[in-house]
Amino acid sequence: MHETPASLICTVDVVLLTLQEGALAVLLQRREREPFKAAPALPGGYIHVDEDAGAAAAAVRVLRDKTGIVSPYLEQLATFSGPVRDPRGWSVSIVYYALLPGNALPADALLAPVDRLPQLPFDHAAIVARAVDRVRTKSQYSSLPVYLCGERFTLPQLQGVYEAVLGEPVNKVSFRRKVEELGMLEPIEGELSSGAANRPAQLYRLRKAFRQTLSITGRGLNGRS
Amino acid sequence: MHETPASLICTVDVVLLTLQEGALAVLLQRREREPFKAAPALPGGYIHVDEDAGAAAAAVRVLRDKTGIVSPYLEQLATFSGPVRDPRGWSVSIVYYALLPGNALPADALLAPVDRLPQLPFDHAAIVARAVDRVRTKSQYSSLPVYLCGERFTLPQLQGVYEAVLGEPVNKVSFRRKVEELGMLEPIEGELSSGAANRPAQLYRLRKAFRQTLSITGRGLNGRS
């Protein structure tokens, strides 16, 4: 028996997470065409076999062309597939996710809190849930949430970001110990935060070596170690 | 502009890992057709849009039809894609992996140690390397290697399996503490191993609740906690 390639739809979708009013939010975009024209959905599109070097390159292109956003960090989440998730037919979506600080997004970006999503087409609600789960699990053991911060931040600000991602309070002592273990931060010499009522706090930034990679520790937050 | 689905090849491939002579090995199969006819490769095949409920179902079908193996555990590894990985054109491979004890495989199964692979077609060598990396990382924090054991095993046997997967010795005290934390094993009442020169050891099995799922701990092996 000679097999031929199946005729199916192959797309990439991007889950871009950020913080909005202290809570984890996802970037949505109104669909330009059918199916589900005008509905808010994850930015996505077909792979272009004549120009894309791979699915990751397709995700970078789709995000840039549809939203103007260039993300420094784009990781494969998972691939979703089946006969019913897209009314056009049997479909495959290779999904990537990224974390960006709010000030890296266009001012008119359409955001929705991940815990109160509007109705989304396809299986996009399940995809967002999977991305949030991945980010929360990874944040227990890594520097991932740092990508939601601006370039300079205090330790209390970073702790607030971890708490927003995890959706629960974090013990300050465990948090400081973990940051120390990850070895990913450096104090910015002579730079203190200002404007707060209490005494100014040291400002930190991500060490250069960690700007494109994750730092991982075996010690989780929230008593899991 | 109206976009149409890209014409590309979409397949599933399966990385089935087992132990052979105390080392991690991968199941290979000689290819039945071009390209790379007769070369040893990962079992794989096209998605069948008329029968597969999703890529995972396609992987189960391909593994069963091509090797006769029905794996109780099949997890998505990642999707590999691009214009050059397959000589037939722009291709997507959604890859799944599984761990099985050696006695669950056909006697004539073609196995290769993961650290000494033969030359493999496509990007299969990179896919195997990614699977091994995933399994080693996960094994630090979970019950994953238990799937390489038979139904009944002693703690020293299970420690040996962890050591084979991780490719390095494991501290006995850390190992026992971790197994305790995972809470995944139960002693088989009245059952002791026999045949060894030293005194018989208690036999264990995986608790029923853990047979389809992983147990995860925050405490890694090898000093990472």
Tell me, what CATH number does B71's domain have? 3.90.79.10
Q: What is the pLDDT of residues A159-183, one digit of tens each?
A: 999 999 998 899 999 899 888 888 8
Non-local CB neighbours of A200 within 8 Å, separated by 6+ positions? A192, A193, A194
Of A2-11, A33-42, A98-107, B40-49, minimum mean pLDDT range = A2-11
Residue stretches of chain B with pLDDT short of 50? 1-2, 222-225
Kind of pairing between the strands at A91-99 and A75-82 = antiparallel
Give the pLDDT of residue B7.
Answer: 82
Give residues with Cβ within 8 angstroms of B192, minimum separation 6: B200, B201, B202, B203
Q: What is the pLDDT of residue B73?
A: 73
Note whether B8 contacts A47, CB cutoff 8 Å: yes
Q: Are strands B44-46 and B75-82 parallel, antiparallel or unpaired?
A: unpaired
Between CA B186 and CA B206 the distance in angstroms is 6
**CB distance from A137 to chain B under 8 Å?**
no
pLDDT value at position B96?
Answer: 98
Report the gap between the CA of A48 and the closest CA in chain B (Å): 6
Q: What local confidence, expressed as pLDDT, does residue B44 receive?
A: 97
Banded model confidence at residue A216, pLDDT cuts 50, 70, 90: low
Test A46 with B6 for CB contact under 8 angstroms: yes
Grade residue A71 by pLDDT with cuts at 50, 70 and 90.
confident
Q: What is the CATH number of the domain that holds B161?
A: 1.10.10.10
B90 touches chain A (CB under 8 A): yes
Q: Is residue A131 part of a domain?
A: no
- Interface A-B, measured as beta-carbon pairs within 8 A, has a size of 103
Q: What would the mean pLDDT of A90-100 be, rounded to a whole number?
A: 96
Claim to verify: residue A195 and residue A116 sit in the same structural domain: no
Q: Check whether residue A100 and residue A44 sit in a common domain.
A: yes
Evaluate whether residue A78 is within a structural domain. Answer: yes
Whether A118 has a pLDDT exceeding 90, the answer reads yes
Looking at the structure, do residues B39 and B87 belong to the same domain, yes or no? yes
| Inside any domain, residue B1 | no
In a domain, A216, yes or no: no
Whether B83 maps to a domain, the answer reads yes
Which among B100, B115, B139 is the end of a domain?
B139
- Band the pLDDT of A224: cuts 50, 70, 90: very low
What is residue B178's predicted lDDT score, i.e. its pLDDT?
87
Domain extent at residue B178: 142-210
Burial class of residue A10 (count of CB atoms within 10 Å of its CB; 0-12, 13-18, 19+) = buried
Of B117, B139, B161, which marks where a domain is finished? B139
Residue A198 predicted with pLDDT over 50: yes
Clarify whether residues B149 and B116 are in a common domain.
Answer: no
Identity of residue B33: R
Of B49, B83, B218, the CB nearest to A83: B49
Mean pLDDT in residue range A101-123: 95
Lowest mean pLDDT among A107-111, A129-133, B209-213: B209-213
The answer to whether residue A218 scores a pLDDT higher than 60 is no
Q: Residue B206: inside a domain, yes or no?
A: yes
Chain A residues with beta carbon closer than 8 angstroms to that of B8: 5, 10, 47, 49
Stretch A207-211: mean pLDDT, rounded?
77
- The verdict on a CB contact (< 8 Å) between A4 and B46 is yes
Residue A116 and residue A20 in one domain: yes
Q: Tell me, yes or no, whether A62 and A163 share the same domain.
A: no
Cβ atoms of B170 and B159 closer than 8 Å: yes
Cβ neighbours, 10 Å, residue A106: 10
Distance from CA of A9 to the nearest CA of B (A): 6
Domain membership of residue A220 (yes or no) is: no
Burial per residue of B61-89, b for 16 or more beta-carbon CB atoms within 10 angstroms, e otherwise: bbbeeebebebeebbbbbbbbbeebbeee
Residue A158 lies in a domain: yes
Q: Are residues B50 and B114 in the same domain?
A: yes
For B64-91, give the DSSP string.
Answer: HHHH----S--EEEEEEEESSSSTTSSE
Distance from CA of B196 to the nearest CA of A (A): 36
Chain A contact probe: residue of B3, B9, B31, B49 with most A CBs at under 10 A? B49
ipTM of the prediction: 0.89
Please judge whether B55 and A81 are an interchain contact, meaning their C-beta atoms are less than 8 angstroms apart. yes
- A107 interfaces chain B, CB cutoff of 8 Å: no
Specify whether the CB–CB gap between B42 and A1 falls below 8 A. Answer: no
10 Å CB burial of residue B211 (0-12, 13-18, 19+) is: middle
Flag whether residue B7 sits within 8 Å of chain A, measured between CB atoms. Answer: yes
Give the contacts of A75 (CB within 8 A, at least 6 positions apart).
Answer: A96, A97, A98
Please tell me which residue of chain B has the smallest CA distance to A1. B33
pLDDT recorded at residue B142: 84
Distance of alpha carbon B87 from its chain centroid, rounded?
Answer: 27
Measured between beta carbons, the chain B residues lying within 8 angstroms of A45 are: 3
* B5 SS3 class: coil
Token pair for B191: 């059952």
Q: What residues does B205 pair with on adjacent strands? A: B186
Partner-chain contact A218 B140, CB within 8 Å: yes
pLDDT-derived band at A195, boundaries 50, 70, 90: low
Cβ–Cβ contact A167 with B under 8 A: no
B182 vs B214: CA distance, rounded Å: 9
Which residue, of A78, A97, A123, is where some domain finishes?
A: A123
Q: How many domains does chain A have?
A: 2
Indicate if B117 and B26 belong to the same structural domain: yes
The DSSP code for A67 is: H
Q: Is the Cβ of B55 closer than 8 Å to some Cβ of chain A?
A: yes
Q: Verify that B130 and B154 share a domain, yes or no.
A: no
Mean pLDDT of chain A: 88
Residue B85 and residue B4 in contact, taking contact as beta carbons nearer than 8 Å: no
Both B115 and B201 in one domain: the answer is: no
Asked if A24 and A119 sit in the same domain, the reply is yes
Closest Cα in chain A, distance from residue B106 (Å): 24
Whether residue A19 sits in one domain with residue A119: yes
Q: Is the minimum CB–CB distance between A5 and chain B shorter than 8 Å?
A: yes
